[in-house]
Amino acid sequence: MKQTIDAQVRELVAAGDASVAATLALNSLGPSVLRYLRSVLRDEEDAADAFSRFAEQLWRGLPGFRGEAALRTWAFRIALNAAQSLRNDPWHLRGRRFATGEASRIAEELRTKTAIRVERRRDELERLRQHLSPDEQSLLALRIDQGLAWEEIAVILSSDGDQVQPATLTKRFERLKAKLTALVRDQGLGDQPE
């Protein structure tokens, strides 16, 4: 029977091989995390910066991973934090990249490999997403693009002390769908040529 990625990573960390565990986690989860970051940040350079931050934080944090949530859920929480941190740092557009460590090297390799395979988003979808708040974009990306369960999304979007309930997210999502429907109707985005 094949072990899950969670079990493999926990086993490697327990054996003191955090570097191999982090490499396995990045190789397994990195492509979908990068798609998520591209989706919510809508800028290749910002997504690359956020992905590097994500990779570094995962690399450093993996030895302390307690397994209270699934590895994938934990990784997406790190990615969300990296995206929010990037958005909140005014210097990110002017700053220079820091020296590439092992995690950054792996992150760059994954980003480069998956860049070729990234699906082209229609301009219409991009225009729709531009009308959404960062929280709405994250909810949409986690549910639709990543296919995460409401319980996983609740864990990812819960901040320290402020727990989000899955039922609350489903209501937010229904309102988001109504908003998107209204945007398509009101702005005639569905009638635009591709």
Q: Which amino acid is at 40?
A: V
Task: Please tell me whether residues 98 and 22 are part of one structural domain.
Answer: yes
Q: What is the pLDDT of residue 87?
A: 84
Q: Higher confidence at residue 91 or residue 165?
A: 165
C-alpha–C-alpha distance, residues 67 and 14, integer Å:
12
Helical H segments across 89-149, by residue range: 102-117, 123-130, 134-140
76 and 156 Cβ atoms separated by less than 8 Å: yes
131 found inside a domain? yes
* CA dihedral angle for residue 181, residue 183, residue 187, residue 191, rounded to 10 degrees: -40
Q: Which amino acid is at 95?
A: G
104 found inside a domain? yes
Q: What is the pLDDT of residue 77?
A: 94
pLDDT single digits (tens) 157-181: 887 678 889 999 999 999 999 988 8
Q: What is the pLDDT of residue 54?
A: 95
Distances (CA, A) of 77 to 45, 54, 142, 148, 155: 20, 9, 10, 12, 8
Task: Please tell me whether residues 112 and 145 are part of one structural domain.
Answer: no
180 found inside a domain? yes
Q: What value does the mean pLDDT of the chain take?
A: 82
Q: Which amino acid is at 20?
A: V
C-alpha–C-alpha distance, residues 128 and 147, integer Å:
19
Q: What is the pLDDT of residue 145?
A: 83
**Out of 70-79, 114-123, 126-135, least confident range:** 114-123
Q: What is the pLDDT of residue 116?
A: 46
Q: How far apart are the first and last CA of the chain?
A: 46
Asked if residue 144 has pLDDT above 90, the reply is no
- Could you tell me the CATH number of the domain that includes residue 131? 1.10.10
10 and 67 Cβ atoms separated by less than 8 Å: yes
Structural domain ending residue among the three candidates 119, 151, 173: 119
Task: Please tell me whether residues 110 and 130 are part of one structural domain.
Answer: no
Task: Please tell me whether residues 108 and 131 are part of one structural domain.
Answer: no
12 found inside a domain? yes
Q: How many Cβ atoms from other residues are within 10 Å of residue 10's Cβ?
A: 18
* Number of structural domains found in the chain: 2
Q: What is the pLDDT of residue 119?
A: 45
Q: What is the pLDDT of residue 128?
A: 77
Which DSSP helix (H) or strand (E) runs through 175?
helix 166-187
Task: Please tell me whether residues 31 and 96 are part of one structural domain.
Answer: yes
Task: Please tell me whether residues 131 and 104 are part of one structural domain.
Answer: no
Q: How many Cβ atoms from other residues are within 10 Å of residue 134's Cβ?
A: 13
Task: Please tell me whether residues 39 and 101 are part of one structural domain.
Answer: yes
Task: Please tell me whether residues 143 and 101 are part of one structural domain.
Answer: no
Structural domain ending residue among the three candidates 119, 136, 156: 119
Task: Please tell me whether residues 103 and 169 are part of one structural domain.
Answer: no
For residue 160, the enclosing domain spans 122-189
Task: Please tell me whether residues 153 and 80 are part of one structural domain.
Answer: no
Task: Please tell me whether residues 94 and 175 are part of one structural domain.
Answer: no
Structural domain ending residue among the three candidates 119, 150, 165: 119
C-alpha–C-alpha distance, residues 112 and 120, integer Å:
15
Task: Please tell me whether residues 82 and 132 are part of one structural domain.
Answer: no
SS3 at position 101? coil
Q: Give the pLDDT mean for 72-96.
A: 81
194 found inside a domain? no
